[in-house]
Structure 1
Amino acid sequence: MPTADLLLHPVRLRVVQAFLGDRTLTTSEVRGLLPDVPAATLYRHVGVLADAGVLEVVGERKVRGAAERSYRLVTEAVSVDAEAAARMTPEDHRRAFATFVAALLADFDRYTGGAGSRPLDLAADGVGYRQVALWLSDEEFGQLVADLRAVLAARVGLEPDGARRRRIVSQVFLPG
């Protein structure tokens, strides 16, 4: 199954997102992160992702007689390269973007609904969203993208240490 087709399913996309940040998780731990997904559905989609090489087994142990596997995301396997993106039709790109936006909305809904009785404090939680328009030449835009990649790359390898919170950063670039 091509990578785009794998990731265009909303449950599989959420499973992949659960592993972002170089996490190693068991299916039970993923269930804890996605409690609204029925167990059988989750196990099926984890299996599809593992069979496709998107998740790799990095450990296995016996739990009550059954094998419990630990998985890790194969980052290279979830990237749609420029060649594959060029083969996608405009409808494929619309579906991919709609899936991305739906996942983003679902994450935000979980954040705002997951606050419970406490009031939301977006500033304290580091939540932000905004849109700006920039007037840039192709060269200036290329430099902006390179700068952003460098800023993110410098932080991608940071490990959890008790003080760090996992944060999801999403990017969209569109011509005006």
Structure 2
Amino acid sequence: MFIAPDQIINNFDIRPGQVVADFGSGSGHYVMAAARKMNGDGVVYAIDIQKNLLESVKSAAEKNHLGNVEIIWADVEGKEGVKLASGSVDLVIISNLLFQLTDKEAAAKEAHRVLKDGGKAAVIDWTKMMTGGGVVFPKQEAEKLFLQQGFAEEKEFEAGDNHYGIIFKK
């Protein structure tokens, strides 16, 4: 079963006025869902290293009249690579990204750095690849990674047949 980002974000307690950062935003499905959920009040940062994907997100936000979407070209694996102030974000979304990263620890550290005290990181990643040939980043490894960076596991949530979902709290 596939669960759409619009449904999955109901697990994230997104409220108007918050600051949300989508690390590795890709084509922006979670960016758009979060921006709609906030009703234009607050900001959602689409952060990716691929400029062409960020251009697509920007176009989609404009087309859908979502003025609370901001684009940041950045490398989540770099030290302070996200270009956001420390302690400035309420929620970091990390969806279908960990399995792609070389330095997963750097990305988790960067999430911890930008989050406010009490802020949350929502991690969604593959349990198995749809194509069958890809490498996944197991849920147990994600838990270990985020706990080592000073997060506490808050809850797991349903993310579909091929994904796991975990919310960590700073």
| Same fold, judged at TM 0.5 (above) | no
TM-score under structure 2 length normalisation: 0.28
Larger relative helix fraction = 1
TM-score under structure 1 length normalisation: 0.27
Larger relative strand fraction = 2
